[in-house]
Amino acid sequence: MNYILILHYSRHGATAAMARQIARGVEEMDGMEARLRTVPEVSTTCEAVDPAVPDEGAPYASLDDLRDCAGLALGSPTRFGNMAAAMKHFIDSSSRLWISGALIGKPAGVFTSTSSMHGGQETTLTSMMMPLLHHGMLLVGLPYSENDLMHTQSGGTPYGPSHFAGSDSKLPLSDEEQRLCRALGRRLALTALKLA
């Protein structure tokens, strides 16, 4: 199956809402499917033993989900200007794929949600790109032909879609944010199809 893996972590639902919009964009392209997967929480003291299937939302990702994808959208809430530990923990478990070069040449994009407008969207997005470059992935952002980049009053960056969730993290995705998420999904799917 040809799929874009939409690998995300979300505690309060904002990043998960972005992931669903990206999935819609992917599935607008014939010949490509979206696979939504999440990662478990990490414990401060030791590995927590969670049920294999989370109570709600997307299933947990396996390294095989990552190995076999045609492309990747990687999403995390901003935590102190960086990705959440849960996502970093999963990425740090991917050495086997790095050694085999499984992700080399595949397209990848990144997305994030913050509670404050200038609280680190760009830093989080660019920091998520670093491990993907180490894996040899081809980074895909958003071009300014997406008019929403010029007019958004909330999230949306050329480095990837973003969402301003507000101090209580409850603001819904704006129309611009939704469209930019779908644009990333379409772009990843189209790039993966062209590369194939």
Of the candidate residues 5, 7, 15, 161, the single one contacting ligand FMN (CB under 6 A)? 15
> Can residue 80 be called a binding residue for ligand FMN (CB under 6 A)?
yes
Buried b (16+ CB within 10 A) or exposed e, 27-43: bebeebebbbbbbbebe
* Cα(113)–Cα(111) distance, integer angstroms: 7
**Residue range at the interface with ligand FMN (CB under 6 A); choices 14-22, 40-48, 130-138, 154-162:** 14-22
**For ligand FMN, which is the closer residue by CB, 13 or 136?**
13
Looking up tokens 């480095």, which residue turns up?
A: 159
DSSP string, 105-170: T-EEEEEEEESSTTSSHHHHHHHHHHHHHHTT-EE----TTSTHHHH-SS--BTTB-EEE-TTTT-
Smallest distance, ligand FMN to C-beta of residue 141, A: 20
**For ligand FMN, which is the closer residue by CB, 126 or 169?**
169
Looking up tokens 């939409």, which residue turns up?
A: 6
Site for ligand FMN in 110-149 (CB under 6 A): 113-116, 119-120
Smallest distance, ligand FMN to C-beta of residue 27, A: 21
Smallest distance, ligand FMN to C-beta of residue 172, A: 11
Residues that bind ligand FMN (CB under 6 A): 10-16, 77-81, 113-116, 119-120, 165, 169
